[in-house]
Every structure is written in C-alpha cells, then in structure tokens.
Structure 1
C-alpha cells in the first residue's frame, strides 16, 4: 500500500508539473501576443514573474490538496490492508479505524465485523476444544486416536498411566509399530477393513500383571462417509473379571460343600433301607453319621445365611456394654471338651478393664471361631495361648497356637469365602470354610482391626483390636 501510494503521488507531481509548465508557457505567450504587443521588456519580465509566481503558488496549493485527498483515499485502504494481513496471520483481535460511511468506511466496517466474527468463532472453538480435551484426558478409559494413514495422533492420560508409557513412544508413529499387542493390532486392521465398530475382550500383560480389557475400535467417518481414522477405547474390566471369578468359585464351592453331606445322607439312608437297619450296630453307626452330616449341613447353611446378612447394607449390630472376659470364658467352656480330646493346653491371661461397646452374640461368634480353629489345627499335646489386654482406647485380643501354620503366600487369602489352606485336612476337620470370612466381617462391623502372622510348622497368631467406644 505504501509503494502504491508513493507511485501515485509521484505520478501526480509529474502530471501537475507538466500541466502547469504548459499552462504557464501557453498563457504567457497568449498574454504577450495579445495584451503586450507594444509593452516594454521590463513590463514583460514583470508579467512573466507574476505569472510564474501565481502558477507556482497554485501548483503548491493543488499539491497540498492532492496530498490531503490522497491521504483520505489511501489511509483507510492501508488500515484495511493491515487488518487483512493480521487476520491472515491468525490475529483475530486486530481492528481498523472506521471512517465516514463512504466506500472505504464500509470496507473498514465490514473488515471489523469479519474480525469480530472470526474471534468469536475462534474463542468458541477453543472452548469446545478445551472441554473435549479435558473430557478425553480425565475419562476413566484409555483412548487412542489413529488417522486414516495409520499414525497415532492422540493418547490420553488413562492409557499412559495404565500401560506405563510416555507420549513420545506412541505419538506420530504407525499403530503397528507403537502398539506391542498383536490382538489390538488385529482389531485396528479389522476396523479399518469393515469400517464398523469392532469390540473384543482381551487379556493383556501390563508389567508383570495380566489385566482384562474390553476394547472397542470405532471408525471415524466424515460427512461423505469416507474413513478419516479409528478411535480405540480401552475399558479396564480386571476387577469385574475378578468378581465374576469369585462368583463362579463361590457357586462351585457351595455346590461342592452341599453335595458332600447330601451324598452321605442319601447313601447311608439307602443303605439302611436296603436292609442294614436290621443290624443294630450298623443302624447306630449309620444314623450317627447321618446326624453328623446333618449338623455339618445345617452349620454350612447357617454360615451362608450369616455371611449374606452381614454383607447387606441394613445389617446392624446390637450395641451394648460387653465384658470381653465373660464372652471369652463362655467360648472356652464351649470348646473345652474339644481341647481335652486332643490334650491341648489352653492358657488365658486377662489384663486391665475389658469393658467395651459391642454386640455380645456377634463377638462370641468371632472368638468361638478363632479358638475352635486354633484347637482344630494344633496337633495333640500342643498349646493355645490367649492374651486379652487393655490398651489406651481399645482392647487387644491375641490368640497363638503351635499348630501347622500357614505359608506367607496363603495369608492374604485366608479371609476369602471357602478358601482352604489345606483342603483335605480342612474338610476332614468339619469346617465350612466360611469361619474366617465371618470373623473379618464382624470385626470390621465393630470398627475393629484383625491381623494374622504365621510360620509353617511353628503356628499362627491372630490379633484383634476393638475400640472401647463406638466410633460415629
């Protein structure tokens, strides 16, 4: 614009100079020939001087006016051109001065409206883009965006944290070079081939752990139905798979535990009906077995009902003042015959004030389970030691035996339903496999804590800590 303005002014000056020169010569000659035929040379010289000065003054006045007019014409165009350049470079905040409403003023006004619209559109786009990126980055599923050429354009935070990778390990690389899992590569290839959503459940190794994912590959199509890329979404379903496996194990264990006593009941009943009842010794023996299996079946069903009730939201304890010494003494009395049969010495030590807030019946269930377990898994002639001590704001119950013990890798699972460290020995002992699961639920319902320590062949120690007062 400045170059155009300079050329325009130069052309104006040349034209004006030529026009005025011609006019001066023409008018001078005209006046000299018409008016001053008989004039002296001095008069002619003065006439020429006046003429030249007049035309020179007129020339500068016209030049000045031309400059003013040129500025009025070119300055709005310069402003409009500058704003257009700024808009082209992405600066949508640029504005030009709006002159009077002639053609140039209308142009400036139109450019300002265009700039404002572009700025509003850009701001709206940035807000939407930020919202979308915030959503993608904070979603609880992994996401990978692949373009139509197979390059990875985006990897969200969940995927990077889950698979322990960095952005540069994936970004702008071809998907089959970056992704280390053959199942996912095949899923992307199938999505690109059929141009439809493909969904699979896969098990992938993440570090040293195997995790389950529900992976969806969806094609990205434009308005012309042309493929623009593929988006991969990873839903971590590891916990769901664990729960599903626990449910399957629970059903299988319950079925097995119920099947064993039912089979015994049916078998011995059929044996009696087939003629064994005529023999008094057989009849007494078989009926005793039937009674024991019925007790075992009843115990299993009761434990299942108790555990189910404890896991319900409306399960509540009957809070009252409880003397733990009385509760534990009752439990020792109930297990005395079992300990005497195996010649197991049970030692008990009470220290301090053992009054707490709790449910006496449920606490009796806890201590009875632990004492019975210690006696069951302690060999004949062994010993069980119980210490009940008052702490600052709690009471600690510790029971130790010198029984078979538990391996370290087994300890985290002993509170699972139906989990048995030694299945054959546990089943022969008559346990249901639910005792420790019930103990853990009841201790936690009392807002207490339970811990276990054990060494194979040396024995096991359980420690329960119960608050003296109920925590609200």
Structure 2
C-alpha cells in the first residue's frame, strides 16, 4: 500500500496570523486579474499559514466515516477545493488543475475541482502520456517549468492555445510506499498538477516551485484518500448488488439479535414485506419457528448449525425445501477478535431432495422390473426340469420356451436401457451404427413383439404410401418404438386401441403412437422426458416402469437429429410423435467419409 509523502514544513504550525481553522480570511474570495495591480492588490497571508494547515489526507482526521478511518466524499471534495484555491493564491496563478492517469486509455485526464476552468474545458482536457510537458513530468517524476508556451511543441501548443495558457508548471503527483523502517520502498506517480498563467504576466519563480512542491504533496495525499474511498464505495456497492441478486437467501443478525441485512430472496422465504425486518430483533418479525430456533441455538450455544425447512413461496402450489445454514461473522472490536453476528444462508434443495426420492423409487422399481421376468424364467425352467416323465407335449414345451425367450428379451432391453442411461449421464455419446433400413418393417416387427405382452389391446399401424428407405441406427430405432409402444400399453391398463401413425414427406418421417389410456395432467407434460419421472397416481403405480424409458427415447431421437413431442388429455389418452430426418447429416457425412477411405 502506498503511503503519503509527509509535507516538510517551512515554518512552525502555529505561525502568527493563521486562523483558527487554518483558512485565510479571504480564502473564499476569487482572485481577479486586476487584484495584482499595486493599488488593488489585497494583503495576502504568509505562505507558511497555508502550508501549516492539516488536511484529511495528512495526519489529523477529526471527522471520518465511521469504521473506515477515511474522510467522507464531501470532506474530500471540500478539502481539494480549498487546496486548489490556496495553490492559486500562493503562486498567483490564474488557473490550476490536476490530471490523473487513465490506465485504460493511457492518458492524463483532468479531474474536478479546478480553478479558472469552465466545465467544458475541464471535460475535454485529456493529454497524452507519451509526449508533451505533462507527460515528461509524469514519466520522469520531476517538475517542468515553461516560461512561455511559444517555445512548446505543436502538441502542447494546441491544448495550451485552446485554454489560453501563457506559462506553466507541470508538477508530478507522487505517492511513496515506505517499509517498516520508514525508508522509501517504492514510488508511484498518479498524475500531474498543472499551474497555469502567473498573474501580472510574470514568469513563475523558484519560490513558486518550492511552495508548489508542498502543496502538490498535500493534493496527492487527498487524492490518495479519495481513491481509497472510491474503491471502498465501489466494493460496498458491488457486494450489495451481489447480495441483492443472489438466488440464495441471506439473513444477517447482529450480536444483539437485530437484523442488519436481508436480501430479497430471504424476504420471500421468511414472508417478510419490504418495510419489515431491518433493525428489528429476529424474534419479533420472523414467524418461522424453525429459523427462530436455529438462530437461538447458534447464538446461545456458540456453534454453527443447520436445518431444513419447507416453505410455500408466493405463486407456488407446492412447498419448497430450503437448507438453512448459520455461520459466525468474525471481526474485531477495539482491536480484539470478536464475533460480530450471525449470517444465515438459505439454499433451495427441493430438486436435490426430489431426485433423491426418485432415485430411491427407481432402485425399488428396477429391482421389481428385474425380479419379475427372472421369476417367470425360473418358474418355467424349473417346471421343464422337473418333467422327467414327459408330461408336457412338444407344443406346450415350445410355448414355455417362447415365454422364456420373451422374458430374456425383456431383461436384455431393461439392461440395455440402464447401460444407455449410464452412458448419457457420464457425458459419453451413444455410439451410432448408421445403415439404410425399412422403418415400416421395423415398426411391424415391434408391433408383433409387443402384442405378445397383452390381450387387451389392438395394435394397429396406419400408413398408406410407398416403401421408405431410412438412414439411421436400426437397433436404436427399435428401442424408440419399443419404449413408446410399451408405455402406451402400460398406461392404458383397461385396454383399447394403440395406433402407430406414419407420415412421410420429402425429407422427414413422423411416427405417432396414440393410445386410449389415462392421459397426462397438463402440469406434468413438461416433465415426462425427465429421468425417473413417472405420472404419480394409483393406476400408474400398478402399471410399473422404471421412469427412464421416455428419457432414453428423447436422447435416441436427438441422436438421429430428430425431435419428439407429446399431446395428452387426462382420461382420454396420449399421442407421442417422433420426427426424424430421412438422411441425418451426421450419418451422411460418416458414410461418405467411409466410402472415401475405402
């Protein structure tokens, strides 16, 4: 951190004639051009009076912002204004201004307050850091005195002519960082102080330069404080904006129990209106007993803790689950480490808990789905093994073998689905084996296979047209149709028609699977393709299913560069429609690449 250059004193601080507040009697008067004439020139206080005054950036700081040790913004501005007027009066200059280094544009930019400048002149005064007298003072850290601007380069003459400059001093504004032994460890030039146009058209004297060296240090000190103040203000505003925009709730309680901070998310969770909470004791305004008890436990037992609460937020039909975690706010009081208060962070874990519940249900469901075909396989195999007397004829045995074969296929499909979901979850793309095949034949095959699982449904394909040649992955196309038809049968437990509607245009094929089942509620339609999601009612629980079928279907469709949508009416049935391109771009590129390699 940079430390101020302490101003060297030209005379004792109690020099005779200094006013009580360090201001000369006529400090507030503007110095006019004609005041320099012998008849009208006012009596000026000695330079020592000006130089002896303390300022907020120096040693004494009688009034500071509480908790920061820094003067307020208003104090800093007033101090700079007074210093600029003093400089103007001490060296009898018509104009004075300081320029700070703009690192982004690498320019020296004029900053208020200034003396003798209009707002427009101040706004447009930007000097290069690469050339000119100001750049020289800034780069070398040494003052530059110009007795006549007529001797300046074209660059300097341009801006000097614009603001009517005759002569000037460019004095560097330097901060010094000192080490523990008070030796100068580093210097940083932050800008340049310009003093322009000596009154009476005289040149600036060595005495002017000596006085300016002290005043420049004081100006630098105030600017340093202003920069720290602005930095603290910006950091505070950024922190406040961050807290206000957080989706998590933040509640801060002082050691006395009074609320000192409450962001909008916390207000919504605690159901507190905008005009309630700040400054009140938490027990007087928080109605959620779980949070009140959490704060009591933390403050009374002196340990950080957490809990979970259910809250019905405005506009929600179902409660949300929040994890409330406390943490101590640590700091110092009178230089001694202390606990200043407690902060409570509210994190919405509703989805996490929902996923945990769905995973638990999924494990139970998968266990059931695996056990059912295994039980069937085990039963028929045991029956056949025990038939040592050939009680069953060949037709019955063939029927048993067919059931065993179907149940094995059912197990294989379930295991394939689980493996594919695992690949998707791990971020691995499903491997596609592209080939041309007849989708109508594939649909008829799946319809025939699924018809063996039900005697309540009529499975029908609706298509009138020419044969189709589809470029895709035949096995994954089979998985898509199998899952959709299996769902249609499963979720229409009373039977009815399951119709597969095929439509083809020049570039795409659409396959709709329509059932006459129980349908899906409107609020559940947007979730049917989510993993582990199942429509939750008595009929669907009886129907079974893992909740991964439609999740997998959506990914398989997307790997074919297609889309899937659903329309449903509760109590009437659902229609799932798959839209696939006849020639997916990835498949075409891969096959053409394979041909070129051959």
For residues 242 and 267 of structure 1, do their structure 2 counterparts lie closer, same or farther at Cα, with a shift above 3 Å needed? same
Residues 1:318 and 2:427 are matched in the alignment: no
> What's the counterpart of residue 243 of structure 2?
136
Asked if residue 152 in structure 1 is aligned to residue 259 in structure 2, the reply is yes
Query: 2-side partners of 1:282 and 1:169: how far apart?
Result: 84
Structure with the higher fraction of residues in strand conformation: 2
| Larger helix share, 1 or 2 | 1
Higher mean C-alpha displacement, 447-456 vs 117-126: 447-456
Distance 1:355 1:178, change over 3 A: farther
Taking the aligned partners of 1:405 and 1:160, their CA distance within structure 2 comes to 41
Question: Where in structure 2 are the equivalents of 1:132-281 lying within 5 Å?
Answer: 132-159=239-266, 167-207=274-314, 208-223=317-332, 224-262=336-374, 280-281=391-392
Q: Deviations over 1:8-57 (max 9, x none)?
A: 99xxxxxxxxxxxxxxxxxxxxxxxxxxxxxxxxxxxxxxxxxxxxxxxx
Aligned counterparts of 1:3 and 1:310: Cα–Cα separation in 2: 81
Matched, 1:388 2:492: no
**Which residue in 2 is equivalent to 1:442?**
556
Q: Which residue is 2:28 aligned to?
A: none
Corresponding residue of 1:346: 460
Structure 2 partner of 1:71: 44
2:75 pairs with one of 88, 91, 98: 91
Deviation at 1:254, TM superposition (A): 1.7
- Given the alignment of the two structures, is residue 408 of structure 1 paired with residue 515 of structure 2, yes or no? no
Instruction: Structure 2 unaligned segments of length 5 or more: list them.
Output: 1-16, 26-37, 64-70, 91-206, 587-598
Cα pair distance change 1:225/1:312, threshold 3 Å: closer
Determine if the alignment matches structure 1 residue 358 to structure 2 residue 472: yes
1:76, 1:108 within 8 Å by CA — same for their partners in 2? Answer: no
User: Offset at 1:249?
Assistant: 1.7
What is the CA deviation profile of residues 214-270 of structure 1, one whole-angstrom value per residue up to 9, with x for unaligned ones?
222122233223332221212222222222222222222222333444456667777
Aligned to 2:139: none
TM-score, length-normalised on structure 1?
0.67
Instruction: Identify which range, 329-338 or 174-183, moves more after superposition.
Output: 329-338
Going from structure 1 to structure 2, the CA distance change for 1:469 and 1:176 (only over 3 Å counts) comes to farther
Aligned equivalent of 2:188: none
Call closer, same or farther: CA 1:236–1:369 in 2, change over 3 Å. closer
Distance 1:456 1:276 in 2: 49
SS in 2 for 1:71: coil
Does structure 1 conserve the Cα–Cα contact (< 8 Å) formed by 2:532 and 2:546? no
C-alpha contact (below 8 Å) 2:329/2:339 kept by paired residues? yes
In the TM superposition, 1:88-127 aligns within 5 A as 90-93=74-77, 94-95=79-80, 96=83, 97-98=86-87, 99=90, 112=219, 114-127=221-234
Q: TM-score, normalised by structure 2?
A: 0.55
8 Å contact 2:513–2:575 — kept in the other structure? yes
Alpha-carbon RMSD: 4.9
Q: Distance in 2 between matches of 1:345 and 1:4?
A: 103
Match of 1:328 in 2: 443
CA separation in 1, counterparts of 2:347 and 2:45?
Answer: 66
Could you tell which deviates more after superposition, 415-424 or 456-465?
A: 415-424
The range that moved more, 418-427 or 383-392, is 418-427
Query: Distance between the aligned counterparts of 2:509 and 2:271, measured in 1?
Result: 44
Could you tell me how far apart the structure 1 residues matched to 2:360 and 2:418 are?
A: 16
- The separation in 2 between residues aligned to 1:377 and 1:89, in whole angstroms, is 70
- Identify unmatched segments of 5+ residues in structure 1: 10-63
What is the distance in 2 between the residues matched to 1:259 and 1:343? 25
Q: CA deviation at 1:337?
A: 6.5
CA distance in 1, matches of 2:273, 2:583: 50
Paired position in structure 2 for 1:34: none
CA contact (8 A) 1:197 1:218 kept: yes
- The total of aligned residue pairs comes to 408
Q: Tell me the CA shift for residue 305 of structure 1.
A: 2.6
Q: Which protein shows a greater Rg?
A: 1
Is the 2:457–2:498 contact (alpha carbons within 8 Å) kept by the matching residues of 1?
A: no
Query: Whole-Å Cα distance in 1 between the matches of residues 400 and 52 of structure 2?
Result: 110
Verify the 8 A CA contact 1:386 1:400 in the aligned structure 2: yes
CA contact (8 A) 1:192 1:219 kept: no
Q: Distance in 2 between matches of 1:116 and 1:198?
A: 45
Which stretch shifts more, 224-233 or 183-192?
A: 224-233
